[in-house]
Amino acid sequence: MQFHWWNYEHPQYLDAMEGLRALKEEGIIRHLGLTNFDTDHLHLLLQEGIPIISNQVVVSLLDRRALAEMSRLCLEHGVKLLAYGTVAGGFLSERWLGQEEPSLSGIHDWSKMKYKRFIDQTGGWEKFQQILRVLGAIARKNEVSITNVATRWVLDQPAVGAVIIGARLTESEHRADNANLFSFTLDQDDHQAIDQVINDTPKIRGDCGSEYRQPPYLTAAGDLSDHLEENKRVDPHLSLSGEGKLQRLGTGSYWESVCGYSRAVKKGGRILVSGTTAIHGEDRVICRDDPRGQAVYILDKILSAVSALGGQRSDIVRTRVYLANQDHCESVSRVHGRYFEGLNPANTTIEVSNLIGDHLVEIEAEAIVDEG
């Protein structure tokens, strides 16, 4: 069973995974895998003891995001990558070698509409042609196709367990050519030639799956209009109250009513998010002994609160991070850096004598929404 979850700001993916784990323990499901999960959230699930064996993500000569931190995590925990997009919707083939650049408006194949955006993000058409020329030379040497070479390169990556090559029934037939994948190997010279031509290409921004979660959206339409309804981007468990320029956001938790506070408050264009810990539901501590996992869960909760009050990630202008142990500073700061890459809000990170409960991290945030 492969599991996909679009929006991490909805923390119910943890409940769903617990349900799937129970089905696995009953013998109804043999294995659990993921689709388009990023490294931080795969790490979180592994720390929660979910027995993940695979993660299906884009891996190709154009998109090598999964070959860095994701691969290191997978190799450490015995998780295999199931690679798709390996031939970029058919662009990595002889058909496009030496061809003029197509316009997006002139492409009517949704897969190519999507992967043309990947080409644009990784150096453009001329750089792509350089890659095709190198692959073409290697293909002729081995008497196989460019597609074979591109796919074989992905299969040679240590964390990759398999490739998924798409098929368009009644439109195209590539089974015989795909079988050639196992008739040759790429030697050291081949790998060096490929590395030389791809090493200076710009990298796709973010982590695996970011193309569906953060701009620039590398989808066929270039946005999420074909994938996600706007009203499903906010956690439905959050409740709004207040009038006019003052709004309060609540989760219905016991302590909010006892202590008299809100998860977040918006006054005018300013959003203040209360100190947030990695509590799921009423009292479950997420990643009890892992500061990185706690930071991931906390920042998702903060983004959910900001979104519910009409803001977005780029509106966050200040964060404050409280650590129970200064030795956790680097791992938590790296998570913060990934979440706010290129946005760089003002930040204070301090060690405190203690945090209430079994918490290693607490974070609060402020956002300013331009209501122009």
Average pLDDT over residues 279-299: 95
Whole-number average pLDDT of the chain = 92
Q: Do residue 274 and residue 338 come from a single domain?
A: yes
Q: pLDDT by residue (tens digit) across 200-210?
A: 999 999 999 99
- Give the per-residue SS3 of the chain: CEEECCCCCCCCHHHHHHHHHHHHHCCCCCCEEEECCCHHHHHHHHHCCCCEEEEEEECCCCCCHHHCHHHHHHHHHCCEEEEECCCHHHCCCHHHCCCCCCCHHHCCCHHHHHHHHHHHHCCHHHHHHHHHHHHHHHHHHHCCCHHHHHHHHHHCCCCEEEEECCCCCCCCCCHHHHHHHHHCCCCHHHHHHHHHHHCCCCCCCCCCCHHHCCCCCCCCCCCCCCCCCHHHCCCCCCEEECCCCEEEEECCCHHHHHHCCCCEEEECCEEEEEEECCEECCCEECCCCCHHHHHHHHHHHHHHHHHHCCCCHHHEEEEEEEECCHHHHHHHHHHHHHHCCCCCCEEEEEECCCCCCCCCEEEEEEEECCCC
Q: Do residue 46 and residue 182 come from a single domain?
A: yes
Q: Do residue 199 and residue 243 come from a single domain?
A: no
Q: Do residue 196 and residue 301 come from a single domain?
A: no
Q: Do residue 304 and residue 194 come from a single domain?
A: no
The structure's pTM equals 0.93
Residue 227 lies in a domain: no
Q: Do residue 23 and residue 142 come from a single domain?
A: yes
Residue 217 lies in a domain: no
Give the domain-ending residue among 155, 181, 212. Answer: 212
Q: Do residue 146 and residue 79 come from a single domain?
A: yes
Structural domain for 143, as ranges: 2-212
Q: pLDDT by residue (tens digit) across 141-153?
A: 999 999 999 999 9
pLDDT for 28 beyond 80: yes
Q: pLDDT by residue (tens digit) across 106-131?
A: 888 889 999 999 999 999 999 999 99
pLDDT for 97 beyond 80: yes
Q: pLDDT by residue (tens digit) across 290-344?
A: 999 999 999 999 999 999 999 999 999 999 999 999 999 999 999 999 999 999 9
Give the domain-ending residue among 162, 181, 212. Answer: 212
Q: Do residue 53 and residue 159 come from a single domain?
A: yes
Residue 122 lies in a domain: yes
pLDDT, residue 214, reads 85
Give the domain-ending residue among 212, 244, 262. Answer: 212
Residue 302 lies in a domain: yes
Residue 58 lies in a domain: yes
pLDDT for 61 beyond 90: yes
Q: Do residue 252 and residue 129 come from a single domain?
A: no
Count of structural domains, the chain: 2
Q: Do residue 265 and residue 190 come from a single domain?
A: no
Q: Do residue 63 and residue 170 come from a single domain?
A: yes
pLDDT, residue 101, reads 96
Q: Do residue 107 and residue 23 come from a single domain?
A: yes
